[in-house]
């Protein structure tokens, strides 16, 4: 945007200079006017050159940062998730590139993506709350124990977890998990890939979407945060991965981090669009296995850049 803007400014200035030069050159101000316009045009060209140089430098530094992470710190996540099955849950309108980048890093760390769940916007539509509540009551299995005073969406998250996950590794699909997933997909609240779940995972990574425009109030994410808490209750651990936008006002991570109950059990990473952030998702997920949770990244991340176990110095 910077490069394009100054490009337009420069072009306009040049055309103005040409036009004004023709007019003033034939009039009483032909010497002074031409010099003023020419001087302004030169300033505009210099601003354009400076902006281009700054943009080139920023891009070079970004490339250096990403190359450094990829080449110098390569291998730090190797084996961190060995023999771990993971369910990848994408929030409505989540970016596919973000999801793919996180998935690639999870697999580098030895994890296996057993199921990919795409949540539909219908799930969190306030007009569908009665449908969600009814489905929860219909699909609840005998081995599920809803917490006292749990909300509709906490129970819905726990229900999905019963379909795709478990607290321990080695759990496979059974009649109850198949029933749960059939009911949720049949109501078009979500879709699965593959469509039939064979192995249930112990860990879950949720991919947050960028906040919409105009920015919603943080309270609009209450149901989504409750849903994520439910996922955690029914699995061995949950990490929510997003971008800096999602950790700012109007974003899911901002709302999650404002919920003290959620931050006690769910981890989050707000720079998952960067190679270093994707590695942090792995570290946070490995930390979840130990029963710990943390909020990591660059935007009001109270636990720093990554779990303390992988830092050489304290925050």
Instruction: Measure the CA dihedral 291/221/104/185, to 10°.
Output: 100
CB 179 within 8 A of CB 141: yes
Q: For strand 267-269 and strand 295-296, is the pairing parallel, antiparallel, or unpaired?
A: parallel
Tens place of pLDDT per residue across the chain (315 aa) = 445 444 454 554 444 444 544 444 445 545 576 788 888 888 888 888 778 777 766 666 566 667 666 665 678 899 999 999 999 999 999 999 999 999 999 999 999 999 999 999 999 999 999 999 999 999 999 999 899 999 999 999 999 999 999 999 999 999 999 999 999 999 999 999 999 999 999 999 999 999 999 999 989 999 999 999 999 999 999 999 999 999 999 999 999 999 999 999 999 999 999 999 999 999 999 999 999 999 999 999 999 999 998 887 654
Q: Which pTM does this prediction carry?
A: 0.81
Q: Which residues are CB-neighbours of 36 under 8 A, at least 6 positions away?
A: none
Cβ neighbours of residue 134 closer than 8 Å, sequence gap 6 or more: none
pLDDT of residue 46: 84
In whole angstroms, what separates CA 235 from the centre of its chain? 20
The CA distance from 296 to 277, in Å, is 9
CA 150 to chain CA mean position, Å: 26
Cβ-contact 167, 201 below 8 angstroms: no
Which of 12, 10, 33, 13 is CA-nearest to residue 23? 33
3-state percent breakdown (helix, strand, coil) of the chain, nearest 5: 55, 10, 35
Question: Any residues with CB less than 8 A from the CB of 8 and at least 6 apart, and which?
Answer: none
pLDDT at 31: 55
Residue 173: predicted pLDDT: 97
Least Cα distance to 163 among 129, 121, 191 occurs for 191
DSSP 249-292: TTSHHHHHHT-HHHHHH-EEES-TTSHHHHHHHHHHHHHHHTT-
Angle at CA 255, nearest 5°, toward 252 and 259? Answer: 135
Radius of gyration of the chain, Cα coordinates, nearest whole angstrom: 26
How far is residue 255's CA from residue 241's CA, in Å, rounded to a whole number?
13
Q: Which two tokens stand for residue 107?
A: 């697999």
Residue 136's closest CA among 170, 180, 100? 180
């Amino acid at each position: 945007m910077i490069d394009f803007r100054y490009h337009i400014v420069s072009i306009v200035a040049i055309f103005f200079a040409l036009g004004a030069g023709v007019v003033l050159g034939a009039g009483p101000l032909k010497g002074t006017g031409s010099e003023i316009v020419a001087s302004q045009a030169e300033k505009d060209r210099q601003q354009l050159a400076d902006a281009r140089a700054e943009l080139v430098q920023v891009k070079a530094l970004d490339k250096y940062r990403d190359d450094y992470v990829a080449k110098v710190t390569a291998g730090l996540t190797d084996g961190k998730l060995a023999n771990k099955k993971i369910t990848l849950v994408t929030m409505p309108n989540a970016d596919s590139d973000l999801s793919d980048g996180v998935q690639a890093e999870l697999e580098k760390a030895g994890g296996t993506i057993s199921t990919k769940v795409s949540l539909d916007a219908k799930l969190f539509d306030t007009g569908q709350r009665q449908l969600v509540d009814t489905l929860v009551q219909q699909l609840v299995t005998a081995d599920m124990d809803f917490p006292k005073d749990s909300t509709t969406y906490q129970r819905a998250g726990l229900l999905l977890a019963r379909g795709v996950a478990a607290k321990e590794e080695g759990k496979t699909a059974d009649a109850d998990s198949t029933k749960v997933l059939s009911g949720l997909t049949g109501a078009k609240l979500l879709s699965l890939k593959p469509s039939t779940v064979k192995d249930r995972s112990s860990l879950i990574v949720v991919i947050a979407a960028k906040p919409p425009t105009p920015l919603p109030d943080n309270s609009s994410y209450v149901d989504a945060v409750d849903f994520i808490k439910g996922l955690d209750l029914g699995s061995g651990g949950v990490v929510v991965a997003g971008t800096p936008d999602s950790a700012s006002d109007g974003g899911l991570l901002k709302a999650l981090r404002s919920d003290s109950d959620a931050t006690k059990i769910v981890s989050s990473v707000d720079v998952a669009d960067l190679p270093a952030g994707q590695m942090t998702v792995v570290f946070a997920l490995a930390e979840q296995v130990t029963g710990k949770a943390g909020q990591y990244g660059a935007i009001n991340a109270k636990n720093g850049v990554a779990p303390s176990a992988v830092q050489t110095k304290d925050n």
